Chains A and B, each alone.
Chain A
Amino acid sequence: MGFSVSASTAIIVVGLFLAFGMFYPAMANSVDRVTDAHDDQADRMLSIQNTAIELENATKEDIGDEDGEWEVTVNVTNTGSTSIPLSRTDLLINNSYQDEPETMIQETEDTETDLWLPGETAEFTTTVDQEPDRVSVVVTQGIRVSGELETVEEEEQ
């Protein structure tokens, strides 16, 4: 009788070890995964707080060609404390997405760089088919500025 109790206790103890061995990694992985996701979210929140932009001016100019195209120039200053990737900056003119506008950092007249540093003003230039009214510039994390486009009169010759 005594040996039966010890033997079955031993089997149950081994079983408990097995069960814990299965449960622990699953639990640890799950907690890790969710903690990572929350860390990532906190990083995003921090970068939202550090990012700020300001619209300096936005102008449109009739190119004067047969297709009636307009050239739009938008100047935006990075007033935050973090660099913004220019390739991930979106330009919306009259609610239509502008594919890869030309970009230039005004201070350095650099057109190749992708980094838009704090304090610098970036100039976005693109051409649209119809006379536009409004422009929006959107940077990482969805921070955006929008405004009316002012018309530039052609200089008289």
Chain B
Amino acid sequence: MASVSTSHLIIFVASLVVAAGVVGTLTTGVDRVSSAVQDGSLDVSQQVRTDVTIISDPGSSIVVENGDEEVDVTIHVRNTGSQTIPARESAIDMFLNGQFQGEEDFTIEVQGTTDNADVWRPDEVVEITITAEEADLDTDNRIFLTVNGDQEEFEFRS
């Protein structure tokens, strides 16, 4: 009889260990998925809130000669969303005539009175100046920029 109770005890302990293992795996998995969902929703909500608009007038002179066969292409972009964007070159992906412009190829500067020039708040305007070689510009040119998933296009003549 004693052997029966011992084997019952062993099976009881084993079933508890297995159940605890299942619960542990389950909660760890759910925890991981929960934090991924939270991160994902943060990204999605920021992308929905981000909206920028190029407000430059293509009829004015966009391209200014800089000497040394280089030109400055200046556009103004307004934050028309409700998301604050860092005013850094790394926050913007910029293409001029299909060529990617690296962080050293353009500058970004918040316009108007601002208490913090490092952030681009809603309704603020930034001036983006791309320094390009004259040979990179055709008669008709196109700027394509992406900020946090929001894409903008601007076409102008040089």
Contact = CB atoms under 8 A, between A and B. Distances in A.
Interface in A128-151: 133-134, 136, 138, 140-142, 144, 146
Interface string B29-60: 01101110110111011101101010111011
B38 to A, nearest CB: 5
Given A11-B20, A18-B23, A95 B74 contact: yes
A41 B60 contact: no
Contacts, number: 139
Given A12-B22, A30-B38, A142-B78, A95 B123 contact: no
Given A22-B30, A27-B37, 20 more contacts: A1-B11, A4-B15, A7-B12, A7-B16, A15-B24, A18-B27, A19-B27, A23-B30, A26-B35, A26-B37, A30-B40, A37-B48, A38-B48, A40-B48, A88-B123, A90-B111, A95-B74, A138-B78, A142-B55, A146-B57
Interface of B: 8, 11-12, 15-16, 18-20, 22-24, 26-27, 30-31, 33-35, 37-38, 40-42, 44-46, 48-49, 51, 53, 55-57, 59-62, 74, 76, 78, 80-82, 111-113, 123, 125, 127
